[in-house]
Amino acid sequence: MFRNHFIISKSIHLGIFQVFGRKPPGKRRIFGIHWRLCFSSLCLDIWFMEQDQVERIRVWFDEYTSRFLGDDEVVNAHLRLKQEHAARTCEEILLLAEQLGLDENQKRIAEVVALMHDVGRFPQFAEYRTFHDPTSVDHCALGVAVLREQGVLEGLAAREAQWVETAVACHGRKVIPSGVTGPALLFSKLIRDADKIDIFRVVLENYRGYRENPDTFLLEIELPDEPGCSRDVLEAVLNGELVDSRRLRTLNDMKLCQLGWVYDMNFTPALQRLKELGFLDDIFECLPQTPDIARVREGILIYIDARLAGDAK
Closest approach of Fe ion to the CB of residue 116, in Å: 10
CA dist., res. 130 & res. 132, Å (int)? 5
Nearer to Fe ion, 119 or 271 (CB): 119
- Please report the sign of the dihedral spanned by the C-alpha atoms of residue 278, residue 284, residue 289, residue 292: negative
157, amino acid identity: A
**Exposure b/e, 193-205, CB count within 10 A at least 16 = b:** bbbbbbebbebbe
Among 32-40, 49-57, 173-181, 195-203, which window interacts with Fe ion (CB under 5 A)?
195-203
Closest approach of Fe ion to the CB of residue 79, in Å: 13
Among 191-199, 220-228, 237-245, 296-304, which window interacts with Fe ion (CB under 5 A)?
191-199
Give the x/- contact pattern for Fe ion in 112-131, rule: CB under 5 A: ------x-------------
- Please report the sign of the dihedral spanned by the C-alpha atoms of residue 95, residue 97, residue 103, residue 105: negative
Cα–chain center distance at 198? 11
Closest approach of Fe ion to the CB of residue 219, in Å: 15
Nearer to Fe ion, 14 or 152 (CB): 152
Cα–chain center distance at 191? 5
Closest approach of Fe ion to the CB of residue 118, in Å: 4
Nearer to Fe ion, 118 or 193 (CB): 118
Residue 160, interface with Fe ion (CB under 5 A)? no
Phi, psi for 125 (deg, rounded to 5): -70, -35
Query: Which residues have CB under 8 Å from 114's CB, separation 6+?
Result: 86, 89, 90, 92, 93, 94, 191, 194, 195
Among 35-43, 102-110, 155-163, 194-202, which window interacts with Fe ion (CB under 5 A)?
194-202
- Through-space distance between the first and last CA atoms of the chain, rounded to whole angstroms: 34
List C-alpha distances in Å: 22 to 18, 35, 313: 6, 12, 48
Nearer to Fe ion, 118 or 165 (CB): 118
Among 96-104, 147-155, 187-195, 282-290, which window interacts with Fe ion (CB under 5 A)?
187-195
Nearer to Fe ion, 92 or 195 (CB): 195
Residue 195, interface with Fe ion (CB under 5 A)? yes
Among 35-43, 123-131, 192-200, 274-282, which window interacts with Fe ion (CB under 5 A)?
192-200
List C-alpha distances in Å: 205 to 283, 286, 293: 10, 11, 21
Residue 133, interface with Fe ion (CB under 5 A)? no
Per CB under 5 A, contacts with Fe ion among 209-248 are: none
Q: In the complex, which residues of this chain contact Fe ion (CB under 5 A)?
A: 118, 195
